[in-house]
Amino acid sequence: MELQENHSSGESGSGSDSDSDSASTPDIELDFDSDDDEPEQTITHDDNGPPLKRPRVSDDTDTTAVTDKQKSDPQPNPEPNLEEDPFAAFDAIRNQNQMNHAPPKPTQLMSNHAPASSSSSSHAQARPWANQSGQPSRPLEPSIFNTIPTDPVARRVAEFLTEHLPRPNVEIEAKLGVLIDKQSNQRIKLAVESETVLAAGDDKWYRFESNMTMDQHSMFNKMLNEQVTRSQHRDYKGAKIQYKHTKECDRFYDVGQSKVRVTTDQATGQVVPGGIVEKVRVANLNVFSPGSAFDYRISVNVEVPVKMPTGTPLFERNKDRLSYTHQAIKFDLTQVKGAQRANGSPPDMTHELELEFVCPKDLLRDRDRTDGDRKLVEAVGVLINNVRMLNARAGRRR
């Protein structure tokens, strides 16, 4: 709705004066005997003043010259008629003061950096960041301080990682999934409408499930493949995306109080480099994303290299993994099949999408720099931005 400004017509206080001036009495011609050949004069009577003498204009007088003289030498305004309008004198004084104190007209446009005027005419001026055509003359600055505030989620995740980073063989990953209420077995419900970090340690009433549907898995596969293809074009200016397809088998052994994972190549049966580890879960931080298809979990784990275990594995799983590496982040889209069941029924199958830092040691190195905290928040922000972009592509919460 546009605001409309009401303009009321002002009444002039000297209106009666102008009426009386225009209605003057007819001229009366008087004859005077004089020895000099002076031109005759006409006496003009005013109702409220003495007779005024003015030279008569004869037939052969140049009226154009007289008119030009009047224009170049205008007569002063007549005195106000106080008998007809007692307030005429005050109106005349007020009008004269307004003329004397009127602000000078600007000779040039005000600078775009000047504060907007609070006068009633400010609505006619262009917005400070726009030119007269209404087009932005320069990009909007992010704030009055010309800085962008730190993403609160990235800051909290960075603080969480700082508590656990000083460890060797650390692994930092983010998994897409759903937070499930243990009582209702449904997705949790909280009185929030945007992305929220849940308090660490207060996770007794819910669990995190990293599974997704086959359709969602296929959608992510297609989307990431398109990004790989786009990055290979000659005119692409961004960082290239590396793609790798692996099929591996994980076997888990019980060794004392811990479990050891042995990863082998399905095609050759050989243990992959760094494939014998004891995985220790250190800490988790859960992020609830209402309205989105997925929540996500930030996990810190330690993978300690160990010797090849002996004995029979407790269980195994086959991983068909598509890996996409973009700079510091690796995306793993994995289809996991459980072992074949004895009764012949099909094995369990899950679909997962996780992101991890390719080299967590870089975070440790940057953290020791003078601006280490800022670098860490920036790196965490990249990880979270990728999670958010993938989550946005997955659609709204159903």
Percent over 70 (pLDDT), the chain? 63
Tell me the C-alpha distance between 65 and 54, whole Å.
16
* Distance, CA of 150 to CA of 139 (rounded, Å): 20
Q: How far apart are CA 258 and CA 139, in angstroms?
A: 57
* pLDDT higher than threshold 90 for residue 219: yes
Find the mean pLDDT for residues 287-300: 96
pLDDT band at residue 88 using 50, 70 and 90 as cut-offs? low
The DSSP output letter for 189 is -
pLDDT at 134 over 70: no
Evaluate if residue 324 carries a pLDDT over 50: yes
Rounded Cα gap, residues 205 and 203, in angstroms:
6
Kindly report whether the global pTM for this prediction surpasses the value 0.75: no
Confidence bin at 6 (pLDDT 50/70/90): very low
**DSSP string for residues in 216-241:** HHHHHHHHHHHHHHHHTSTT--S--E
The mean pLDDT of 6-28, rounded to a whole number, is 44
pLDDT of residue 167: 81
Domains and CATH numbers, the chain: 152-393 (3.20.100.10)
164 pLDDT band (50/70/90 cuts)? confident
- What pairs with residue 177 in β-bridges? 295
The mean pLDDT of 155-175, rounded to a whole number, is 91
From residue 227, alpha-carbon distances to 220, 320, 331, 352, 394 in Å are 11, 20, 12, 19, 16
Longest alpha-carbon distance in the chain:
153
Q: Is residue 267's pLDDT more than 90?
A: yes
Reported as a single tens digit per residue, the pLDDT across 347-384 is: 889 999 999 999 998 887 776 676 768 899 999 999 99
Q: Is 38 a residue whose pLDDT tops 90? A: no
CB atoms within 10 A of CB 269: 8
pLDDT of residue 229: 96
How far apart are the C-alpha atoms of 266 and 320, rounded to whole Å? 10
Amino acid identity of residue 168, one-letter, is: P
User: 133 falls in which pLDDT band (50, 70, 90)?
Assistant: low
pLDDT score for 68: 52
Pairwise CA distance, residues 331 & 391, whole Å: 13
Which residue carries 């990004």 as its tokens? 227
Of 23, 61, 63, the C-alpha closest to 45 is 23
AA identity, residue 241: I
Query: What mean pLDDT is predicted for residues 319-341?
Result: 93
Q: Residue 2: which residues within 8 A CB-CB, separation 6 or more?
A: none
> Which of 45-54, 158-167, 312-321 has the lowest average pLDDT?
45-54
Q: Work out the number of other CB atoms within 10 angstroms of the CB of residue 332.
A: 19
Closest residue by Cα to residue 259 from 281, 243, 227, 287: 281
CA angle 265, 270, 272 (to 5 degrees): 65
HSE at residue 318, side-chain half, CA atoms within 13 A, is 12
pLDDT at residue 42 in the model: 47
Element (H, E) at 41: strand 41-46
Contacts of 227 (CB under 8 A, 6+ apart): 241, 324, 326
State how far the Cα of 128 lies from the Cα of 295, in Å rounded to an integer. 41
Of 42 and 173, the structure prediction assigns the larger pLDDT to 173
Task: Check if the beta carbon of residue 317 is closer than 8 Å to that of residue 249.
Answer: yes
Give percent above pLDDT 90 in the chain.
Answer: 53
173-196 pLDDT, tens per residue?
999 999 999 999 999 999 999 999
**Predicted local distance difference test score (pLDDT) of residue 59:** 47
The rounded distance, in Å, linking the Cα atoms of 158 and 285 is: 11
Q: Facing residues of 324 across strands?
A: 243, 331
Q: Are the beta carbons of 210 and 175 closer than 8 angstroms? A: yes
Cα 285 to Cα 319, 366, 374: the distances in Å are 25, 22, 20
pLDDT in tens, 113-132: 444 444 444 444 545 555 66
Query: By mean pLDDT, which of 124-138, 169-183, 207-221, 330-344 is the weakest?
Result: 124-138
Give the pLDDT confidence score for residue 113 in this predicted structure. 44
Compute the average pLDDT of residues 229-238. 93
What value does the mean pLDDT of the chain take? Answer: 78
Strands 349-357 and 329-338: antiparallel
Q: How far apart are CA 140 and CA 253, in angstroms?
A: 59
Q: What integer pLDDT is reported at residue 26 of this predicted model? A: 45
Q: In the numeric block, which tokens belong to residue 169? A: 């063989």
Strand, helix or coil at 259?
strand
**Tokens at residue 44, please?**
């003009």
Phi (first) and psi of residue 41, to 5 degrees: -115, 155
